[in-house]
Amino acid sequence: MKRPRMQETASTSVDLLALRECVEQFTTKTIVLLGDFVADEFQYGEISRVSREAPVLILKHRETQLVPGGGANAANNLASLGARVLPVTAVGDDAAGEALIAHFRRQRVNVSGIFRVKGWTTPTKSRFLAGWAHTVGQQVLRVDYEPKSPLPDAVRKKLRQRLSANLRHAHALAVSDYGFGIATPELVQQASAKGKSALHITLDARYRLHRYAKAGITSATPNEAELEAEHHTAIGQNTGELTRAGRATLSEMKLRSLLVTRGRHGAALFEPGDRLTQIPVHGSDQAVDVTGAGDTVLAAYTLALACGASPLEAAHIANIAGGLVVMKRGTATISREELLDAIRAEASGAVS
């Protein structure tokens, strides 16, 4: 039997007042964040000369900044957007882990679900940026530090217990899987089986999205490259291939919605009933820095759904949030006030 053709629409208009009212509710929601906490380290230096030892630049170190990355960036965005965040994760008993915990303490985030693991390495991405005085530094090297061993079973048990306890008080669960072993399909499946039936469970997985097909995920927010890798294809401007891959993932994972971020091409929202909505990029299509933009989208989309927004309304909110954060350098967040201002500006433009 021939399948009905997927109903495709351009960015269906949404009630901007409804979007604003949704964002204003962000402060009333509690979101559990399960995922890999990563330390994003930026080492800035000025180019002093070329080395005599090898044809490489010598950088005179100016400053080092360490900010939350990966799942920690998603948690940071949730907090910045006004939500009460309950992170469930593990970090190493090292300087990077301590720095992440200290950051969230300063943000008044409950850190009781962040477990320190002796002998384990906090995943760290160390970026070296070089520039002349009064110029913007350009990344010249990245060094990654990763755990060399899996999490101990005792820590996994603690994660499972804390996740179950925190979900009793939550409006949604956001899962941020960067492949370091904190978030697993088994852990999410156990949590979803014991949790509230109406609980929104959103997923952003860097690798092998379909591993979560039986985990009870309700929505996912992959970028286009991640969707391509899952289906061993190239999408580009091929709408037919985008439709095929998106519809297959929606069906395989039994999702209520699938939001695919597409860089300068905006976003594509897949919903049951063969519905596909293409949403143009918000703001400029010339991003300053896309580092961590997917974390912002996950945070905004999860919060909007938790507030009762439809998938289309939530997708528009997440698209605006993503468009704002890519105009900032480094791993960044946006605030609830910035998001509200952007929605108001869009409403003013629509009226004029």
Closest CA to 323 of 352, 268, 280, 269: 280
Assess contact for 312 and 269: CB atoms under 8 A: yes
Torsion of CA 278, 282, 284, 289, to 10 degrees: -100
Cβ within 8 Å of residue 95, ≥6 positions away: none
- Give the chain's length: 352
How far is it, in rounded angstroms, from Cα 111 to Cα 86? 7
Say how many Å lie between the first and final Cα of the chain, rounded. 48
| Per annotation, catalytic residue among 36, 40, 204, 295 | 295
Give the pLDDT score at 8. Answer: 58
- In this prediction the pTM is 0.92
What pLDDT does 1 receive?
40
- What is the CATH T-level fold of the domain 7-351, as seen in this structure? UDP-N-acetylmuramoyl-L-alanine:D-glutamate ligase (3.40.1190)
Task: Give the number of other CB atoms < 10 A from CB of residue 268.
Answer: 24
- Residue 295 annotated to the active site: yes
Q: So where are the chain's domains?
A: 7-351
Q: What single string gives the DSSP state of each residue in 307-345?
A: TT--HHHHHHHHHHHHHHHTTSSSS----HHHHHHHHHH
Residues 203-216 have pLDDT tens digits of: 999 999 999 999 99
DSSP H/E element including 201 = strand 200-205
199 and 173 Cβ atoms separated by less than 8 Å? yes
Spans of the chain below 70 pLDDT: 1-12, 195-197, 350-352
Who's near 270: CB < 8 A, 6+ residues apart? 246, 247, 249, 250, 255, 257, 258, 259, 260, 276
